[in-house]
Amino acid sequence: MVEMNGSLQQWLVTPLGQHVLAREQDYFDRVVANIFGFNALQLGLPEQNLLRNCRIPKCYTVAGDTGGKVIADVASLPFASQSIDLVVIPHVLEFASHPHQVLREVARVLMPEGRVILSGFNPWSLWGARRKFKHADAEYPWCGQFINLPRLKDWLSLLGFETEAGRMCCYAPPFSREQWLQRFAFMEAAGDRWWAMGGGVYFIQAIKRVQGMRLITPNWRESASKVTAMAPAARNVVNLNQYRKLKHTDD
C-alpha cells in the first residue's frame, strides 16, 4: 500500500518543490515524446501531467485517491498482463510500503520491450544529508525512504529490466527559500560535470527484456530463391511452343 500523495503535492507547491517539479517536468516532456505504443500509465502525482508530451494515444493516471483517471493501489494494478507500453513512476517508491511489489506489478503489465521511467530522491546527495537530520515522522519529502541508485538498478535487473539511460538534477542544496536557490543556481549547470552522482533527484529509463524473444522478419532469401527457380520453367514453355511450330512446318 502506498501513502497518500496529498502531502507530497502540497510540498511541490513550495519554492523548493517548484524547483524540483520544473526540472522533472522538463525531463519527462523530452523523454516521453520519443516513445510510441498504444497505452501509457503514470503512477502517482495525478495533479502533474507528466505524459502531456507523450504521443501514445491512451494515457492513464493511477492514484490511490481522487485525482487520477484510475483509482487503484499502484501495488496491485487493474490492468491485464503485457498490455502497457510505457509506465512513468514519479516519486512513488520512496513512499510505498512495498516498493519492490510496485515494480513487480509494473513488470507484469508492461509489454515485452516496454519502457519504465522513474524519478526518485538520491540518498547520496545533499538532499540525503538533510534527511538524516529529520525525524522519521517529518514532513514530505523527508519522511520517505530514499532508495539508492545501485539498489534500484538491482531490483530492475532481477525483474528482467535493462537500464537504458539515466541522469540527475537538483544539485543545489535543498534550501526552502527561493532567494537561496537562485544564489546556488550555478551548481545546476556544473553538477553533471563536477559531481555527476550528487544530484538530489535521479531519473532511470529501463526496458523490459524477455529472454528468447526475437523479431520475426520475412525470409527475403527464400523468396528470392523461389523467383529464381521459376525462371527455367518459363523458358521451358517457350521452347515447347517453338518445338510445336517447327513440327507443324515439317508436316
- Tell me: the pLDDT tens digits for 123-170? 988 888 887 776 555 788 888 889 999 999 999 999 999 999 888 888
C-alpha cell at 218: 520475412
* Entry field: residues in the chain: 251
What's 2's DSSP letter? B
- In this predicted structure, what is the pLDDT of residue 21? 93
The CATH architecture of the domain made up of 6-208 is: 3-Layer(aba) Sandwich (3.40)
C-alpha torsion angle, residues 40, 142, 200, 18 (rounded to 10): 70
Supply the pTM of this predicted model: 0.76
- In this predicted structure, what is the pLDDT of residue 198? 76
CB-CB contact of 101 with 55 (8 Å): no
Domain residue limits, the chain: 6-208, 223-251
The mean per-residue pLDDT over the stretch 101-118 comes to 95
- In this predicted structure, what is the pLDDT of residue 194? 61
Of the chain, the percentage scoring pLDDT greater than 70 comes to: 76
